[in-house]
Chains A and B, each alone.
Chain A
C-alpha cells in the first residue's frame, strides 16, 4: 500500500516536471508563436549543469538556478542568430541545436571526464539531501520516503512559475506577445520592437525549460544523453496542444492527462517489445495533426484566444 503511495508521489513529480517543461514551451509557442522543436536542449543543458555543479559542491537551489541561466544563455544565442530570419528557420535550427547538444553530451571527447558520454552520471546530491549515502532532511526521514520531499519542492517551484507566468500574460508585455503571435505587422506598426519581445519570450521560456531539467535529473536519479531524445520535445508539444495556446492552466491539465496516458501501458499487457510505445508516440503525432487541422486553439483552449485562424 505504502509502495503505491510513494509511486504516486513519483508520478506527480513526473507530471509536475513535464508541466514546468511545457510551460516554457507555452510561453514561446503558445504566447509568442515561436516554433521551438528543440525545447529538450534547454532541459538537457539545465539537467547537466545542475548535476555537475552540485557534484562540485554548489547548493542545489543555486545549481538549478545556474542551470536555468545556462539554458537562458543558449536561448539568447539561438534567438539572436535566428529570430530575425524567416519563422520556419527557427524550427529547423532549434531541432538541429538540440541534436547537436545531445551528440556533444554523448561523444564529448577528448574531455571525457565531464559528461561521461553514454555512461551517464549517477548518484549526485538532490534537494534537501546533500549526501546521497545519508538520510535526507538532516537525518530524520528514511531515504525510501524521499519522493515526497522532491514532490513538494517541484510543486512549490511549479506554483511559483505559474503565478509569474499568469502575471506576465496579463501584463502589457503579455498582450504585446499575443499581438505578435496573431499579426506581427500590426505589432510593428504600433511601434513595438517585435524582435526584442520575441527574444525575451524565447530566453525566458528556455530558462523555464532549463529549470525543469534539474527536476528531471533529480527524479530520474541519473542522467544519460538518451534521456534527451527529440521525442521529449514532442511530449511538451502534445501537452501544449491539449492545453491550448497561451493557456497556462490548460498546460497543467494537459500534463496531468498526458501523465495518465503515459503510465497507462504499464497496466496493459505488452503486445511485442516496443510496440505499445510505438502506438503511444503515434497517438502523439495524431494529436498534433488533429489540433493543427481541426482545433488550432487546442483541445481545451478557447476559440476567442486566437483572433485569426491559423
Chain B
C-alpha cells in the first residue's frame, strides 16, 4: 500500500507549499481587488524579502526571527516606494489596467535583475542547521522548517482576517475593493487604504519568500517562478477575495504535489508518471481550466 502513503505524504507537502503560496496570493488578490493591479512584479517581492532576510541573517549575523522581520519591513518600504514613484503617477493619469500590467512586468524585470546584480545568480541558503524531519507515524513525515512555514502562514492569515473584519481600515479596504467610486464619495480615505494595502501586500509577500527560503534554496528567479501558481490561486479564489485565495493556493499546492506522485509499486507503469518537472504545469493547467469553465473563480470575487 505504498501509494496511499505516497499520496498522503504528497498531501502534507502540498499543504505546506500551499501555505507559502497562500501568503503570496493574499497580497496579490488584495492589490488586484483594491488597486485594480494585476501585479506581475509580486513574485519578485517574494524574492526581495527572502534575499533581504539573507543579508540580515547570514551577512549581519542577526538572529533569524529578527532578520525575517527586517526582510518584511524592507519589502514593505519597497512597495511604498514603488507606489510613490510608479503606481501613483499611473493612477493619477487613469492608466488602463493593461498599462498597469505592462509597467508591472517592467518592474518585475528591474527587481529580479537588481537581486542578480547584488547577490549573483548562484543558489543560496540561510545560515541554518539542516532542518530535522519529524515522524508523523504511518511512514509520514514533515520537516521542521515546513512545519514552521505552515505555522507562520496560519498566524499571518489570522492577523490579516482580523485586520479585514474587525478594524475600521479593514472595512474601508473591503469597501474600496467592492467599488472604489462609491467608497470615495462616502468619505473612505482612499490614500490611506492604498498605503495599508501595500504594507500588507509587501509584508505577506516577504514572509512568503522567507518561508520558501526555509524549505528550499533561494535563487533570484524563485519568486518569478511562483507568480503563475499565485495568479492561478488568485483567479481560482475569485479576484479580491483573500479567503478564496487561501483556498485556491492550498488547492494548487496539493494538486501540484499529488499529480506528480509516482510510487515504485506501479512497476513498469512509472514511465507514464508525470515528471516532477511538471509541478508548475499542473498549477497552470488548473488555472486554464478554471478560466474556461468558471472564469469568475470558484468563490465570489469583488469584480464580475
Contact = CB atoms under 8 A, between A and B. Distances in A.
B101 interface: yes
B98 A33 contact: yes
Contact of A96 (B89, B102, B271, B288): B288
Contact of A107 (B106, B228, B277, B291): B277
B110 interface: yes
B257 to A, nearest CB: 16
For chain A, the bracket of interface size reads: 35 or more
Interface core residue of B96, B121, B271, B295 (most chain A CB under 10 Å): B96
Contact of B287 (A92, A237, A282): A92
A110 B278 CA distance: 13
B158 interface: no
A309 B93 contact: yes
A283 to B, nearest CB: 9
Contact of B109 (A33, A107, A273, A285): A285
B113 A289 contact: no
B29 to A, nearest CB: 13
Interface residues of B, number: 47
A284 interface: yes
Contact of A292 (B102, B116, B231, B287): B102
Contacts of A82: 291
B120 A288 contact: no
Main secondary structure, interface of B, reads helix
A288 B275 contact: no
Given A37-B105, A96-B284, A237-B105, A278 B116 contact: yes
Main secondary structure, interface of A, reads helix
Contacts, number: 128
Interface string B270-284: 011001011011001
Interface string A250-293: 00000000000000000000001111001101101111110011
B33 to A, nearest CB: 13
Contacts of B292: 81
A87 B232 CA distance: 16
A89 interface: yes
A310 B287 CA distance: 28
B153 interface: no
Contacts of B93: 309
A103 B277 contact: yes
B110 A35 contact: no
A40 to B, nearest CB: 13
Given A99-B228, A100-B284, A292 B291 contact: no
A126 B303 CA distance: 51
Contact of A281 (B40, B109, B120, B295): B109
A285 B101 contact: no
A288 B277 contact: no
Interface of B: 38, 40, 86, 89-90, 93-103, 105-110, 112-114, 116-117, 120-121, 228, 231-232, 235, 271-272, 275, 277-278, 280-281, 284-285, 287-288, 291-292, 295
20 contacts: A35-B102, A81-B291, A87-B97, A93-B287, A96-B232, A96-B287, A97-B288, A99-B284, A100-B281, A103-B278, A103-B280, A278-B117, A279-B113, A288-B103, A289-B107, A292-B99, A292-B103, A293-B89, A309-B93, A310-B96
Given A81-B291, A281-B112, 7 more contacts: A35-B101, A85-B291, A89-B291, A92-B235, A103-B278, A107-B277, A278-B114
List 3 A-B pairs, minimum CB-CB distance, nearest first: A285-B109, A288-B106, A289-B106
